[in-house]
């Protein structure tokens, strides 16, 4: 599958496991003895942090990033890294360092990304828990295409690494992935909690474990399917089926009009995204040797970010602020909103990205993932729920999106959904060609 890369020596793993067996029960953390492969965008001491880029292929981490340190402190055994696209850009996990990660439901199809390696490792029962990160759907898209759960928590719940600028609002966040919502909650509880070295973050936010699968009778779910976005037909049909399933489980479902045109949200997103990426990689871009090693979408992002003026950046931030206010008012009346996690089915691994959806040309390398932007732009919590299969037997998922700090509520809705459907257990990968 090429899901886990930079594997640690087996004897070293075994020796650490044997040492953990000797620890008294009262000193064992929530992840005691669990093997975890860390996404190859985060530092894990002693492992390469390639970020899927030849620029960083030989970089060995000399320390753990915050989330890795927290997993180790909870008893996890780090065994390797999970594969990711170059610098996490694009929802198709391939790079020139480790190659392509395959979809276990069809080896000729994409596993999604950028947490593609993590999603495949979970789907194939290589690991029980996986960390991921999500700027533009990187926890949701691969989870959808591999029939697992992936959660983007409320921004600030899981702190970022304390480096560079700490005040400007970041677009991405780390979060948990698992084959069931209860394990999502366990890992989120390990990862969450304010870091005193950073000005932002949530001082206290307890994640309930274990989750309770309650009746959805009084839950109010809204559908955003009136938004003018291109979808492959089956993704629309499967989303409608999922909404009907919520109704069968007792929830009230309503289709509503959105308070802002998607194009306006999209323009704010790509402005802030390009600006963020160009700032984080400006030093590498100025090096002509390193620039030659960058793939075209990355160069496009950096050049676009560098061309922006201050008025464009401020205007994008104002739109983001307006969008947050509108969504806060809207989601304050409901328990969750639903959108597909992706607009297309898993495509052939030879394709870098889809150029068309239903005869509509995609004008950027990531336009086909526009559906994840409403939550990403303003840091709302969102969980991919496995939601069935296309006619070609490839997995499909929906996003469950909530208001800020509704993470516990979303997890409990996801648990009710999981117990009613059990899709990861019922339909493991078939490794088809």
Q: Where are the domains of the chain?
A: 7-426
What tokens were used for 364?
Answer: 């950027």
Superfamily of domain 7-426: Amidase signature (AS) domain (3.90.1300.10)
Residue 357 near residue 386, CB atoms below 8 Å: no
pTM of the model: 0.97
The phi, psi pair for 127, rounded to 5°, reads -140, 160
Band (pLDDT 50/70/90 cuts) for residue 37 is very high
Q: Quick one: tokens of 363?
A: 């004008």
| Nearest CA-CA partner of 341 in 362, 379, 371, 366 | 371
Which pLDDT does position 111 carry in this prediction? 98
What's the confidence (pLDDT) of residue 432? 66
Residue whose structure tokens are 């871009």: 285
Q: What confidence category does residue 205 fall into, taking pLDDT thresholds of 50, 70 and 90?
A: confident
What span, in angstroms and rounded, lies between the C-alpha atoms of 42 and 22? Answer: 29
Answer whether residue 29 shows pLDDT above 70: yes
How many H helices and E strands in the chain?
14, 17
What pLDDT shows up at residue 393? 95
End-to-end CA distance of the chain: 12
Radius of gyration from C-alpha coordinates of the chain: 20
Calculate mean pLDDT across residues 366-386: 97
Q: What is the pLDDT of residue 166?
A: 85
- Name the 3-class secondary structure at 413: helix
- What is the per-residue pLDDT across 309-362, written as a single tens digit (0 to 9) for each? 999 999 999 999 999 999 999 999 999 999 999 999 999 999 999 999 999 999
């Amino acid at each position: 599958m090429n899901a886990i890369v930079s594997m640690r020596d087996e004897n070293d793993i075994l020796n650490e496991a044997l040492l953990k067996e000797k620890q008294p029960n009262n000193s064992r953390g929530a992840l005691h003895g669990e093997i975890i492969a860390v996404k190859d965008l985060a530092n894990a001491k002693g492992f390469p942090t390639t970020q899927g880029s030849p620029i960083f292929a030989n970089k060995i981490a000399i320390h753990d990033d915050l989330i890795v340190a927290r997993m180790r402190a909870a008893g996890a055994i780090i065994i390797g890294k999970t594969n990711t696209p170059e610098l996490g850009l694009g929802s198709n996990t391939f790079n020139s360092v480790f190659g392509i990660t395959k979809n276990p439901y069809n080896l000729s199809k994409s596993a999604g990304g950028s947490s593609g390696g993590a999603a495949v490792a979970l789907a194939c029962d290589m690991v029980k828990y996986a960390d991921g990160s999500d700027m533009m759907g990187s926890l949701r898209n691969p989870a959808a295409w591999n029939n697992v759960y992936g959660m983007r928590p409320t921004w600030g719940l899981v702190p970022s690494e304390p480096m560079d600028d700490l005040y400007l609002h970041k677009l991405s966040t780390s979060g948990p992935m698992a084959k069931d919502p209860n394990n999502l909650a366990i890992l989120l509880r390990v990862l969450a909690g304010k870091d005193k070295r950073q000005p932002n973050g949530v001082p206290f936010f307890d994640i309930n474990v274990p989750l309770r699968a309650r009746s959805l009778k009084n839950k109010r779910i809204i559908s955003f399917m009136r938004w003018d976005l291109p979808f492959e037909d089956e993704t629309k049909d499967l989303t409608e089926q999922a909404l009907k399933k919520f109704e069968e489980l007792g929830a009230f479902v309503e289709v509503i009009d959105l308070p802002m045109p998607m194009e306006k949200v999209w323009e704010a997103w790509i402005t802030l995204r390009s600006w963020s990426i160009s700032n984080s990689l400006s030093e590498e871009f100025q090096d002509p040797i390193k620039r030659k090693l960058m793939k075209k979408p990355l160069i496009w992002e950096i050049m676009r970010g560098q061309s922006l003026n201050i008025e464009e950046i401020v205007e994008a931030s104002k739109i983001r602020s307006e969008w947050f206010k509108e969504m806060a008012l809207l989601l304050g009346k409901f328990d969750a909103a639903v959108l597909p996690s992706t607009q297309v089915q898993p495509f052939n691994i030879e394709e870098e990205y889809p150029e068309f959806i239903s005869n509509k040309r995609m004008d950027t390398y990531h336009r086909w993932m526009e559906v994840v932007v409403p939550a990403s732009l303003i840091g709302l919590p969102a969980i991919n729920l496995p939601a069935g299969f296309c006619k070609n037997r490839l997995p499909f998922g929906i996003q469950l999106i909530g208001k800020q700090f509704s993470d516990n509520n979303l997890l409990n809705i996801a648990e009710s959904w999981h117990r009613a459907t059990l899709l990861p257990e019922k339909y493991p990968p078939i490794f088809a060609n």
